[in-house]
Amino acid sequence: MVKKAGVFFLQQITDPDRLARAGQVVSSSIGKSPVKEEKPSHRLLLRAELTYGAARIVTHTLEISRSLVLVQTDEDAYVGDKVMASFSFPGLVEPFSVETQVIARNSGIAAGQVASWTLGFVLYNEGEQTRLHRLLGQLQNPAERPTHQPYRVLVVEDNELTRQAFALGAARFLGDDSAGITLDVVSDGREAWRVLHESSYDLAIVDYGLPLLSGDRLIAKLRRDSGLARLPIFAISVGGAEAREVMLSAGADLFLPKPLVLRDLFATLRWLTSPPRPPVSSDGSLHRAAS
């Protein structure tokens, strides 16, 4: 029997908080014994499309490393199940598709935890490994933006406390990078429609339960507009699975349930819009330009 080279894991990871510290087992080449390696992990929110049997799940990552990815989902799965996954960030990171395997499932019942799957990347050859390194390279070197052009985000939220949380979160988590990311806030769908036609934005974060023009109707309207149809849109809501389905069906790229983890959202924006970093090599180290 011919055995394919791939990524193997000797132990289940049942606590998502251990993802960043987990010891991954990676086969270095065909015919060689697996070796244990510590891999860095990043708390990044990327769009994740999961094909699991006949189901298609649109969700997002919570953490990603060179061997594992943690995705938020309350769908049922069994350890060992194969899942085809595609990861991207609208406008900044091109889609990357890869086979994965369920390593662990967290039901999210315990306090402070969210329902999630831990997926291990299944890489059968060097070509697939190179493609994964290229994805990590995209995370290190996202689409370059002119230094004079900030990344503009419009938040459409009617709740005053949530609007204040966004403002405070931007000040706290963006820090010195806030000059490269600008955040504007409006409180209803009609105002958002007007502002989006008057100014150019790179990302819209849209609440579901908006007055005057609801979040799903606003998104559907934007998707029919020739000038704004490709605008990256994140939907947010406390409405659970029903709101998620409505907002994604309307055309949202990503759905984030409330309460939001603003630290991770702003960390993702900061990571993807900051100046280019040295590219990642195949061994995980960084190439640095000669001085």
User: Distance (Å, rounded) from C-alpha 77 to C-alpha 83?
Assistant: 10
> What pTM was computed for the model?
0.76
pLDDT digits (tens, 9 = 90+) for 151-191: 899 999 999 999 999 999 888 887 665 558 889 999 999 99
pLDDT in the model for residue 29: 28
Percent helix, strand, coil in the chain, to 5, is 30, 30, 40
pLDDT digits (tens, 9 = 90+) for 117-150: 999 999 888 887 887 777 776 665 555 555 557 8
Tokens 């983890």 — which residue?
261
Strands (E) located in 5-157: 23-26, 35-38, 41-42, 47-52, 55-65, 68-72, 82-89, 93-106, 116-121, 151-156
- For 257, phi then psi, to 5°, come to -75, 145
CATH class for domain 151-273?
alpha beta
Tell me what percent of the residues of the chain surpass a pLDDT of 70. Answer: 74
pLDDT in the model for residue 131: 78
| 8-22, 94-108, 110-124: range with lowest mean pLDDT | 8-22
Residue ranges, comma separated, of all CATH 2.40.10.220 domains in the chain are 16-140
Q: Please state the rounded mean pLDDT for residues 61-71.
A: 91
Structure tokens given for 149: 């052009």
Contact between 121 and 132 (Cβ < 8 Å): yes
User: Distance (Å, rounded) from C-alpha 240 to C-alpha 281?
Assistant: 40
Tokens 């370059």 — which residue?
144
Q: Which residues contact 69 (CB under 8 A, 6 or more apart)?
A: 48, 61, 63, 85, 87, 100, 118, 119, 121
pLDDT digits (tens, 9 = 90+) for 232-279: 999 999 998 999 999 999 999 999 999 888 988 988 888 787 655 444
User: Distance (Å, rounded) from C-alpha 102 to C-alpha 97?
Assistant: 16
Contact between 156 and 286 (Cβ < 8 Å): no
Considering the segment(s) 16-140 as one domain, its CATH architecture is Beta Barrel (2.40)
Helix (H) or strand (E) holding 256: strand 254-257
Cα distances (Å, whole numbers) of residue 97 to 87, 185, 233: 7, 34, 21
| Mean pLDDT of all residues belonging to the chain | 78
